[in-house]
């Protein structure tokens, strides 16, 4: 995929393994940013790509510098022997308080995440080309991960989400009162459960979790119940904690372990 413009940070001036990309996106008709972490481990092997989606009010740097995502991954590699993976952390397109990772009339934030982000990162790190891809997110990003993972199931080897928004009502509760209403050109269901059910035959391995003090706990329990009732395989966990960066930093490790486990499974 060709981009009109593509800018990479100079590694002489960034922390080890961290790269910043600014790209002009055909899908959203403007510039957008991606933070990338590539473990500095000498290898020519294919490198799986984990795309991490942020929540409302956030941007591409949030997973790195509020959750220490790169430090979580390095710790798991060093202490638990997880295979190296690259982390791609894009902005959601920076619409208002959050785009919802939806297709709007003026910009397609779905295509940006699913197709353009991996294409841009592959020009920085060719080892991700043809490698397994994973999708994960928190809050609004959890909504994006579960919904886009269902709608574009053939693009991903596994999905995970933390403290997820599960429907439009949940998302609206986070948007500020002066936010402009969405103008959507997205004809797929806005409800996560509906998207997962509609694509149940093709879903990759799926997990999600939520803190028991999180305001979204009831929505996540309802999603778990709906998937159980529909017979859709998934892993659901509840942990102490709320809608906080401490929670997401701690439980990102669960997502990375889940993704690593799918890599370890033999191909039938």
Helix %, strand %, coil % for the chain, to 5?
Answer: 40, 20, 40
Which CATH number is 171's domain given?
A: 3.40.50.1820
- In our burial notation (b when 16+ CB lie closer than 10 A, e otherwise), range 215-253 reads ebbebbeebbebbeeeebebebeeeebebeeebbbbbbb
Helices 69-80 and 245-264 cross at an angle (nearest 10°) of 40
Residue 137 lies in a domain: yes
Determine the pLDDT at residue 42.
76
| Pairing outcome for strands 158-162 and 206-211 | parallel
Residue 129 lies in a domain: yes
Determine the pLDDT at residue 178.
63
Bridge partners of residue 49, in order along the sequence: 86, 133
Cβ atoms of residues 54 and 141 within 8 Å: yes
E strand or H helix that includes residue 77: helix 69-80
Residue 268 lies in a domain: no
- In our burial notation (b when 16+ CB lie closer than 10 A, e otherwise), range 164-202 reads bbbbbebbeebbeeeeeebeeebebbbbbbebbbebeee
DSSP string of 80-105, one letter each residue: H-PPP-EEEEE-----TT--TT-BBS
d(CA 188, CA 195): 7
Determine the pLDDT at residue 129.
94
Q: For each successive 10 residues of the chain (268 residues), what is the average pLDDT? A: 94 96 97 96 88 97 98 97 97 93 96 98 95 97 98 98 93 76 90 97 97 97 98 98 98 98 72
Determine the pLDDT at residue 169.
85
Report the predicted TM-score, pTM, of the whole model to 2 decimal places.
0.96
Domain range for 254 is 6-260
Q: Phi and psi of 192, rounded to 5°?
A: -60, -45
Cβ atoms of residues 73 and 85 within 8 Å: yes
Residue 266 lies in a domain: no
- Count CB neighbours of 5 within 10 A: 9
Determine the pLDDT at residue 182.
85
Determine the pLDDT at residue 267.
45
Determine the pLDDT at residue 112.
98
Residue 157 lies in a domain: yes
Question: How many domains would you assign to the chain?
Answer: 1
């Amino acid at each position: 995929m060709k981009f009109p413009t593509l800018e990479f940070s100079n590694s002489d001036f960034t922390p080890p393994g961290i790269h910043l990309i600014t790209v002009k996106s055909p899908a959203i008709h403007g510039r957008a940013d991606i933070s990338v972490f590539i473990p500095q481990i000498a290898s020519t092997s294919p490198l799986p790509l984990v795309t991490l989606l942020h929540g409302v009010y956030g941007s591409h740097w949030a997973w790195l510098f509020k959750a220490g995502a790169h430090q979580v991954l390095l710790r798991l590699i060093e202490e638990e022997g997880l295979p190296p993976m690259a982390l791609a952390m894009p902005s959601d397109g920076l619409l208002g308080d959050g785009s919802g990772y939806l297709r709007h009339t003026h910009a397609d934030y779905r295509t940006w995440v699913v197709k353009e982000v991996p294409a841009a990162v592959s020009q920085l790190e060719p080892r991700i080309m043809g490698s397994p891809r994973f999708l994960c997110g928190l809050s609004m990003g959890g909504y994006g991960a579960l919904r886009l993972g269902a709608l574009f199931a053939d693009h991903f080897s596994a999905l995970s989400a933390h403290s997820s928004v599960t429907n439009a009502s949940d998302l609206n509760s986070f948007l500020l009162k002066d936010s402009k209403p969405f103008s959507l050109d997205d004809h797929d269901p806005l409800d996560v459960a509906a998207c997962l059910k509609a694509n149940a035959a093709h879903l990759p391995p799926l997990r999600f979790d939520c803190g028991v003090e999180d305001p979204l706990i009831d929505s996540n329990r309802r999603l778990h119940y709906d998937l159980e009732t529909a017979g859709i395989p998934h892993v659901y966990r509840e942990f102490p904690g709320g809608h906080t960066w401490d929670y997401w930093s701690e439980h990102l490790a669960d997502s990375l372990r889940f993704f690593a486990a799918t890599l370890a499974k033999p191909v039938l």
